[in-house]
Every structure is written in C-alpha cells, then in structure tokens.
Chains A and B, each alone.
Chain A
Amino acid sequence: MTGYAVSARDVSVRFGDTRAVDEVSLEFAAGEIHGLLGRNGSGKTTLLSTFAALRRPAAGRVLVDGEDPFENERVMEGVCLIRESGDVLELAKIPENLRYFANARPTWDADFADELVDAFELDRRKPVNRLSRGQQSAFGAVVGLASRAPLTVFDEVYLGMDAPSRYRFYDLLLADYVEHPRTIILSSHLISEVERLFAGVAILEEGRVLLAEDADTLRSRGTAVTGPSAAVDTATAGLTVLSTRELGRTKQVTVYGDLDEAALAAARAADLEIDAVPVQDLFVHLTNREPS
C-alpha cells in the first residue's frame, strides 16, 4: 500500500456568512509528500478537517482513497490528522496515549513510537497537557509518524516546536517516509524550511486555490532580473511583475511565469543578472496582494 489519494472537488465550507473554503478543487496524489500553504485564515485547517471527516463540506465532494470519508470506518482507520493542539488524549500520560493509538490504528508501530518519544526527549511521567507547548507539539508529531496512516496530515504541528525539534521532525519524517511511503500533507507557513520536502504544492488564499503545481515547476516560476533600469524594463516587458525594487539606476524586477530560453539568453546578453526566487518569497509576493 502506498497511501491514499485525496481528491477535493468544488468543496465549500461555510461558517455563517463566511466562506472559509470556497469551491476548492485539488488533487493530492497517493504516496507523495504535499505542501498546503497559505496565510493564517486562508482556509487550510478547514479544508484539511474535511479530509479527516471532522467537517462535512456544505457543497462539493471530498474523496479519500476513492470514497467519502464521512462516517466511513474503513477509510478513517487510515487517516491521521494531527493539528497544532496535538490531537491526543491531553489528560493522559504518554504511555497511556500510545496504548490508545496502538488499539485505534491498524498500521501503528509501537517500537517506532517509543523510539520517537526518546528522540524528542519527551517526559513520559506527566499528563500531556502538563508538557511544554513544544513537547505537546512534538508528541503530536510522534503520533502522526508512528500511526503510519496511508493518509497522514500534519496541520502546522511544528508551530510550537523550537528549531532543533522541527529539524528532527523533518529528518525523522523523511527517513520513515522512504521506508514506508504514504501520502503526507504538511500545512505550514514556515515555507523556507519545508518547501524542499514537497513533491507538490498548493497555495490557498481567502478560501480559494491560488495555485497548485509540482514543486519543481513552482520553483522555476519566479525569476529575479537585476541590472540597469532600461534594460530590465525591456527584458521584463509583458511579463507578470510581482515586485519592483530600485536602487539608483539599478532595478530588480521579480517576474512570475515561464521565461523561455530566448528571453533568458537575451537578458544575459544584456548583462542582466538572472536569479532564482525562493518559494518563500514567491509565496509572500503572491499572497500579499492589496485588498481590492
């Protein structure tokens, strides 16, 4: 088994008059690591909770492994959503939690769970809600990893963790994913840390899909062109400009979209500098639009 595919078709979720998720259509291929990015309040958590059947869409369909996950025991056994709160038994100590998840999850690996508790240096003697915020988040990560669920979703779990714990999490996730491929969705706004983990990336903005692409394509989408103002203007004429910065006679323009080889060659011949734009910067430019 290489994991569950997820398909969202025209999914809408409303809270009163607010459309938290607005006609979202996205495909998450089975067995890959996906990134779901968006600013706070963009609808990530709401969308992800429909994948785990915590919420039912007001309109549209969610299919997990080809079926509606809502009240679907077979599918839900294989879906593990870990949110920032950890999604664990908060009043119980870690060993009791581990026993609980071992019973609830057919794919649970108890030895791996113990290793992970040690790796994150978690205190087994305290109820989970008495651990530090970082330790609670880390325990959520432990449960998500050890569940080995065919669909594992980490919704900003790493927010409470300090940097060393986050990097430990990324390393453990990658190593375990290679051994046990499954579908993993990570939502985050710490994009520079995680973007290289992704095979595919979707960005939500105000409940809608801003873009969904494979990660390599997204990385090649942004180009920074730097040089004398006039030459930069010529090279970027007709392209989608995300941002412009000027320093004296030097100008840097960040453009979005394919720059074909001819355009690149012309820019280089004009002695312009051509640089990659980190996904983090692209994200900031794309989601930082003025309210219309």
Chain B
Amino acid sequence: MFDGRDPIYLQIADQIRGDVLAGRLAEGEQVMSTTQYATTFRINPATAAKAFARLVDEGVLYKQRGVGMFVAEGAQDRLRELRRESFFAERLLPVLREAEVLGITAAELVHQIGRGAEAGAPSAGAPAANNGGER
C-alpha cells in the first residue's frame, strides 16, 4: 500500500477518487476520518489531512464541521468526466503501443473490443453505477 513514486497524500487522494468512481463510496456517504485513516494505514495524520484537503478543493468531498468528511453530490459524474479525458492518453495509448510491438492490427483490436463487450465487460456508455454488475 502506498509504495508508488508519488507522495503518499496523492496516492491516498487517488485511492479515494477510485472508490468514488467505482461506487464503493456513495455520494453523501461519510469517509474515514483523518484519525481512522492515519491509524489504519499507519501514516502521519497530516498526510491524510492533506489528501482530504485536496479532495475538498476538487469538490469530491465536503466537510461538515464537527461531523466529518462526506462524498459530494455529483462527485462520481465529475470524476468520470475527468477520467474520460485522460483515458485515451494514459490508458489507451500504452495499449496501442504494446499492440504495435506485438504486431496486433487495428482490425484485430476492434474485433477483440467487440468480443469483450459481449463477454460481459460493461458496454460503453452504460453507467456502472448499478451494483451487482461486478465481475
């Protein structure tokens, strides 16, 4: 956990974004407190607080004084929008490069993507919000 190159607070923020995006953290749901986060992952509380502050700035979380941090209304949609923008550059491009090295043609890729959708992977455009759709 948290052994990537990025500062730990960025990795924590990323993990929470991922949880919101996948619906593991629902909108309006309370997230772990700084203390819980710090003791669960044995990290400096200031590190956890920095991650939360960032997510509040981004509008993913909001703070209710004296109560805690909650997932903001519309956070999932906003995050999905952001992730879509980076999807092609960060996810698809490396796949295309790898395909080129392996000699996989564009037609073959398109074919496989079509088959993937049939095999039960979530089809493009359908929100993954409904639970129970997890593989």
Which residue numbers of A lie inside 8 Å of B, CB to CB? 32-33, 167, 170-171, 174-175, 177-179, 196-199, 215-216, 219-220, 223, 274-276, 278
CB distance from A242 to the nearest CB of B (A): 16
Contact of A220 among B2, B7, B38, B41 (CB under 8 A): B7
Which residues of the other chain, A, contact B2 by a CB distance below 8 angstroms?
196
Assess A196 versus B35: contact at CB under 8 Å? Given A216-B7, A219-B8, A275-B5: no
- B38 contacts A178, CB within 8 Å? yes
Q: With a CB–CB cut-off of 8 A, which chain B residues contact A177? A: 45
**Also in contact, A175 and B35, with CB within 8 A (given A216-B9, A219-B7, A275-B5):** yes
The verdict on A198 contacting B5 (CB below 8 Å), with A171-B39, A174-B39, A178-B35 known, is no
A197 to B43, CA, bound (A): 5
Q: Is B3 an interface residue, CB under 8 A from the partner?
A: yes
Sample (13) of A-B pairs whose CB atoms are under 8 Å apart: A32-B46, A33-B44, A174-B38, A175-B39, A196-B8, A196-B42, A196-B44, A196-B47, A197-B44, A199-B46, A220-B5, A220-B7, A274-B5
Cβ-closest chain B residue relative to A275? B5
Interface centre among A170, A174, A276, A278 (most CB of B within 10 A): A174
Residues of A within 8 A of B45 (CB): 174, 177-178
Q: Per-residue CB proximity of B16-59 to A under 8 Å, as 1/0?
A: 00000000000000000011001101111111000000000000
Chain B residue with the shortest CB-CB distance to A268: B94
Would B34 and A178 count as touching, CB distance under 8 A?
yes
Known: A175-B38, A177-B45, A216-B47. 16 other contacts (CB 8 A): A33-B44, A171-B39, A175-B35, A175-B39, A179-B35, A196-B42, A196-B44, A197-B43, A197-B44, A198-B44, A199-B46, A216-B7, A219-B7, A219-B8, A220-B5, A276-B4
A169–B108 Cα gap in the complex (Å)? Answer: 56
Say how far B9's CB is from chain A's closest CB, in angstroms.
7
Interface residues of chain B: helix, strand, loop or mixed (majority): helix
Min CB distance B1 to A, Å, is 9
Residue from A215, A220, A274, A276 in contact with B44 in the complex, judged by beta carbons closer than 8 Å = A215
In the bound complex, do residue A216 and residue B8 qualify as a contact, i.e. CB atoms below 8 Å apart?
yes
**Residues on the A chain within 8 Å of B47, using CB:** 196, 199, 216
Report Cα–Cα, A178/B40, bound state, in Å: 13
Which B residues lie within 8 Å of A167 (CB)? 42
Give the distance to chain B from A32, nearest Cβ to Cβ, in Å.
7
Q: Are A196 and B46 CB-contacts (below 8 A) given A219-B8, A220-B7?
A: no
Q: In the complex, what residue of chain B is closest to A223 when comparing beta carbons? A: B5
Q: Which residue of B lies closest to A33 (CB)?
A: B44
Q: Which residues of A contact B9 (CB under 8 A)?
A: 216
Q: A175-B35, A178-B35 are in contact. Are A196 and B43 (CB under 8 A)?
A: yes
**A276, B3: Cβ atoms under 8 Å?**
yes
